[in-house]
Amino acid sequence: MGTILEVKNLTKKYGGLTAVNDFSFEIKRGEFIGLIGPNGAGKTTVFNLISGFEKPNSGSIRFDGMNITGLRPYKIVNKGIARTFQLVRSFKFLTLLQNVSVACQSKRGREASKSAGIDAHASSILAAVGLVDKARIPPVVLPHGDLRKLQIGKALGTNPELLLLDEPFSGLTHEEQQTLTDLILKLHDDGLTIFMTGHVLRELMNLVPRVIAMHQGKFIVDGPPKEVANNKIVLEAYLGGGEAFA
């Protein structure tokens, strides 16, 4: 497996606050990786920097060998990176099919839709995320779990090679979490590279084979979930020391 994402010495400052501090890691094509850290650790800022919603003060981001540091979000989407957000975002008064069809209008989305057409391709994506029976309704009437699936559907509409999932389990019931877990695992099994953050530590640690931990913007450790969960600095960051949470 070749490297699909390479982040080197990434730093982001807001005035006197350093949100991400000299942060480096690599992701191989086809991997499924979790990014953990306490609230305020810098996880979402890392995602914002990778996806172009913020620009770093220093450091570099390379995707599939291309330097994408500081590119605008739409250009990064066109390279093959899509993301979801902690706060659910959608076109509230368009139908679910129209929401996904908008994403399919991206450069890579149009290429993936050539043979079937935009609407048919969008419908197939809704089927893949378990929402095709609700294709003609607007997202304003959906439960939160379905909104999370719609977010993933819209990301898939851009035909990504790398999918960034920012807190996908936030606000979900146990049943909704399990349904979403099954969907994410299926997407990975189908060949998609996935990088996700999470606060529900046990579920994230039991879901991904590799975890990167950060605290106060800094890299702590990278490795198998149980090894990371028992790392002394990780334990102190989350629990002030004590037993592992994995």
pLDDT class of 195 with cuts at 50, 70, 90: very high
H or E stretch covering 120: helix 118-128
What pTM, to 2 d.p., does this model score?
Answer: 0.93
Q: What is the mean pLDDT of residues 83-89?
A: 91
Token reading at 57: 């003060």
Residue 52, sorted as left (phi over 0), alpha (psi -120 to 50) or beta, turns out to be: left
Distance CA 21, CA 87 (A): 25
CA 114 to mean position of chain CA atoms:
26
Q: Between these two residues, 41 and 237, which has the higher pLDDT value?
A: 41
Residue 165: closest CA among 189, 149, 182, 143: 149
Pairwise CA distance, residues 233 & 220, whole Å:
7
Q: Of all residues in the chain, what percent carry a pLDDT higher than 90? A: 80
Q: Which strands make up the sheet holding 58-63, listed edge to edge?
A: 17-28, 3-14, 58-63, 66-67
117-155 pLDDT per residue, tens: 999 999 999 999 999 999 999 999 999 999 999 999 999
Residue-level pLDDT at 199: 67
Token digits for 27? 């992701």
Answer whether residue 190 shows pLDDT above 90. yes
The pLDDT, as a whole number, for residue 206 is 79
Full set of structural domains in the chain with CATH: 1-80+161-246 (3.40.50.300), 92-157 (no CATH)
Report helix, strand or coil for 22.
Answer: strand
